[in-house]
Amino acid sequence: MLNSLNRIYNVGIYIRLSREDDDKTEMSESIINQKSLLFQYVKENNLTVYDTYIDDGYSGTNFDRPNFNRLLKDIELGKVNMVITKDMSRLGRDYIGTGNLIEKFFPEHNVRYIAVTDNIDTFLDSSNNDIAPFKAIMNDMYAKDISKKIKSSLKAKMKEGKWVGGRAPFGYDQDKNDKNHLVINKEQADTIKRIFTMCLEGLSFYKIAKQLTSEGIKTPAEYYSFEWKSHYNLKYGQWHPKTIRDILTNRMYIGDMVQNRRSKINYKVKKVIKNSESDYIIVENTHEAIIDRELFYEVQKRIPKNVGRKEKKENHLLDGLLYCGDCGHRISITSRRRKDNRCYTICNYYRTYMNKKICTTHSNNYDELEKIIINSLTKMCLNYISKDKIKNNVLSNLEENNEFNNKKELEILNNDIKQINDNLDLIYIEKLNKKITAEQYERVKLKLENKLSIKQKKYNELNNDINDTMTEKSKNKIIVEYINKFLSMKDPNRELIVNLIDRIEIFEDKNINIKVTFNNMY
Ligand SMILES: [Zn+2]
C-alpha cells in the first residue's frame, strides 16, 4: 500500500532511547524492541532502508542529538525521503519542535513521515492521522485543519468542472452571475485564434511572438500587469515565445476545464510546486470553446516536445560564462559566419527584442575575445601563485603550531566527555540497584549533564574551527592545483576554465570584467 504512490522511498529509520525512560518503559522502548518493530514494518511494506539512525541515551526534549542531526543532513542531501519511528515521542517530546518537523521541515523536503504505533502517516489524508496531541498544544493545527478542509472542498469543485482559480485564464472572464463559470473575452479570444492560425501556417513560436509584438497586440502581461510576476515576460508589450507555447498547448481553449496544475505544499509553506499532468483535474466541455477541438489537436502535432535549444555544433571555451555588463543578461556566441568564418558575441536581451532598442549588441569577435581573456587569466593566476607562496612561508610555522595545540585540546575534551558519560551510566545503575535514592540521582544527574553540555559545546566549537580551516586549506590546495595546471597548459580545457572563472562581464565600451573563483580566497 505504501508503494502505490508511484514513488520510490528511501527510508531513514530513527530510533531513540533516553536515559529518562524508567525501567518499565525501558523494556518496551529498548533499542532492540524498536528495531525489530520497525524492520518488521519496513519488510511488510516492501520498503528500502537507506540507513538506521540510533541515538542511545539522548533526551527527547531537545533536538541536539548526533544521529538525529545526521538524519536531517541526509534528508537535506536528498538521500532520505521517508522517516519512520515507532511512535511520535521517539522523534521528540517537544511538541513545538516536533510540530515544526512534521509540519514544515518534512513537507518542505517532500519527506513522508510515519509513526507506526501512533498511526500517523503524513502523506495520507485519513482520520487515522491523529492530530489531537498537537491540537492541545499548537493552536495553529486548527489552521491546518481548516486549510485541509478548504483544499478538499476546492478539489470537489474542480471535479465538478467549476472554475476555482480566481482570475480567469487569458481569453476568458469570470461570469458575472456565477464566478465558477467562464465566459469568452472577445478581444483576447481573437488574439488566441490568431496564434493558432499562425502556428498552422507554419510560423515558429519566435516568429509569432515577433509578429504580434510588432503589431502592438496586447500581451497577457499587459492585461494583468498589476499582478504579473512571471519570469519570462521581462518587459510588458513583448510577446515571448514561451507565452505562445503556453497558449497553443492550453486545453482550456477547447472548452475543457484544466485545474490543479500546481499546489501549495501545505498551509505553512509558501512554496508552490508544479503538479505532474496525471494530477490535473480535467472536466470536458464546461465552457465555450475558443478553438475547435480538431484544430487544436492538429496544432499539437506541430509542437516540438522539447523547447530546449538544439545541441550547439561548436563548443566554446567560454560558453555560459559570458554576461552582459550593461543589462545583466547572458551573452551568447553566434555560430560561425560563412563569409569570414568568425563567431561573434551578442547580448541575449538585445537579440530577443532586436528592433526594440533594448540594450545593445555587445558584438565582439569571439576568438579574439577568448585570447584576451585567457591572457588576463594567466596574469591573475601568476599573481595569485606568487602571493600564495609568500603567505605560505610566513604563516606555515604559526599555523602548524596552532593546529597541534587545537588537536591536543580536542583530545582532552573528548576524554572529559567520556568520563562524564561513564559517570552518568554509573549513577543510573546505582539508582536501578536502589543504592541511591531518586532525589540523589536527579541531583547528581543534573550536575553531570550541565557539565557535559558545557564540554560538548566547547568540543563542537573547536571541532568546527578545525574543520573550517581544513576545508579552507584544502579548497585553496585544489585551486592552486588548477592554477598550476592551467599555467602549464598550452591550450586550456573547459573544465579548468569553469573551475577558475565565475563569470565574465562584457560591456558595450569593450571593457571586460573577469570574476575568478579564487579572488576571495585570502
Ligand atoms: Zn545586454
* Residue spans per domain, the chain: 2-138, 172-302, 322-365, 367-506
CA dihedral 430, 436, 438, 443 (to 10 degrees): -100
Task: Tell me what pLDDT residue 393 has.
Answer: 65
Cα(237) to centroid(ligand 1), Å: 18
Task: Tell me what pLDDT residue 2 has.
Answer: 54
Cα(367) to centroid(ligand 1), Å: 20
What is the rounded CA–CA span in Å between residue 285 and residue 255?
5
Pick the CATH number of 2-138 from 3.40.720.10, 3.40.50.1390, 3.90.700.10, 3.30.2350.10: 3.40.50.1390
In the structure grid, which three cell numbers stand for residue 1, read together? Answer: 500500500
Cα(517) to centroid(ligand 1), Å: 23
Cα(511) to centroid(ligand 1), Å: 13
Determine the longest span between alpha carbons in the chain, in angstroms: 97
Cα(518) to centroid(ligand 1), Å: 26
Cα(504) to centroid(ligand 1), Å: 13
Cα(330) to centroid(ligand 1), Å: 8
Cα(328) to centroid(ligand 1), Å: 6
Cα(57) to centroid(ligand 1), Å: 60
Cα(336) to centroid(ligand 1), Å: 21
What is the rounded CA–CA span in Å between residue 179 and residue 162?
9
In the structure grid, which three cell numbers stand for residue 393, read together? Answer: 612561508
What is the rounded CA–CA span in Å between residue 261 and residue 275?
5
Cα(350) to centroid(ligand 1), Å: 6
In the structure grid, which three cell numbers stand for residue 11, read together? Answer: 527510508
Closest of 67, 94, 66, 73 to residue 13, by C-alpha: 67
Cα(246) to centroid(ligand 1), Å: 26
Task: Tell me what pLDDT residue 143 has.
Answer: 45
Cα(85) to centroid(ligand 1), Å: 54
Residue 248's φ and ψ, nearest 5 degrees, are: -65, -20
Task: Tell me what pLDDT residue 76 has.
Answer: 92
Closest of 42, 43, 48, 19 to residue 31, by C-alpha: 19
Amino acid at 53: Y
Cell 590546495, residue? 477
Cα(226) to centroid(ligand 1), Å: 26
Q: Count the neighbouring beta carbons within 10 Å of the beta carbon of residue 344.
A: 19
In the structure grid, which three cell numbers stand for residue 427, read together? Answer: 549513577
Cα(316) to centroid(ligand 1), Å: 20
Cα(516) to centroid(ligand 1), Å: 21
Cα(464) to centroid(ligand 1), Å: 43
Cα(346) to centroid(ligand 1), Å: 8
Task: Sort 355 into a burial class: Cβ within 10 Å, 0-12 / 13-18 / 19+.
Answer: exposed
In the chain, count of helices (H) and strands (E)?
17, 16
What is the rounded CA–CA span in Å between residue 53 and residue 69?
9
Cα(509) to centroid(ligand 1), Å: 12
Closest of 345, 375, 347 to residue 360, by C-alpha: 347
The span from the first CA to the last CA of the chain, in angstroms, equals 55
Cα(196) to centroid(ligand 1), Å: 32
Cα(232) to centroid(ligand 1), Å: 16
- Is the distance from CB of 482 to CB of 499 less than 8 angstroms? yes
Q: 114 pairs with which residues across the strands? A: 84, 121
Residue 115's φ and ψ, nearest 5 degrees, are: -110, 110
Cα(356) to centroid(ligand 1), Å: 13
Cα(363) to centroid(ligand 1), Å: 10
Cα(351) to centroid(ligand 1), Å: 9
Cα(507) to centroid(ligand 1), Å: 8
Residues near 100 by beta carbon (within 8 Å), at least 6 away in sequence: none
Mean pLDDT by 10 residues, the chain (522 residues): 65 83 53 88 92 84 84 94 88 69 83 84 60 41 52 80 87 91 95 93 89 90 58 60 91 94 60 76 94 91 62 71 87 85 88 78 93 92 82 65 81 91 86 85 90 90 79 77 87 82 91 83 45
456 Rama sector, left if φ>0, alpha if ψ -120 to 50, beta otherwise: alpha
Cα(354) to centroid(ligand 1), Å: 11
E strands, 286-327, are 322-324
Cα(58) to centroid(ligand 1), Å: 57
Cα(500) to centroid(ligand 1), Å: 24
Closest of 426, 400, 404, 416 to residue 457, by C-alpha: 416
Amino acid at 48: T
Residue 184: helix, strand or coil by DSSP? strand
* C-alpha distances out from residue 198 to 76, 206, 485, Å: 47, 11, 54
Cα(333) to centroid(ligand 1), Å: 13
Task: Tell me what pLDDT residue 311 has.
Answer: 43
Cα(317) to centroid(ligand 1), Å: 21
In the structure grid, which three cell numbers stand for residue 303, read together? Answer: 509542437
**Dihedral of alpha carbons 39, 45, 48, 50, sign:** negative
List helix spans (H) across 81-131: 88-91, 95-100, 106-108
Cα(359) to centroid(ligand 1), Å: 5
Cα(360) to centroid(ligand 1), Å: 6
Cα(378) to centroid(ligand 1), Å: 27
Cα(326) to centroid(ligand 1), Å: 5
Q: 331 pairs with which residues across the strands? A: 347
Cα(361) to centroid(ligand 1), Å: 7
Residue 505: helix, strand or coil by DSSP? strand
Task: Sort 134 into a burial class: Cβ within 10 Å, 0-12 / 13-18 / 19+.
Answer: buried
Residue 334's φ and ψ, nearest 5 degrees, are: -75, 160
Residues near 61 by beta carbon (within 8 Å), at least 6 away in sequence: 92, 93, 94
Pick the CATH number of 172-302 from 3.10.450, 1.10.10, 3.20.20, 3.90.1750: 3.90.1750
Cα(371) to centroid(ligand 1), Å: 22
Residue 323's φ and ψ, nearest 5 degrees, are: -130, 150
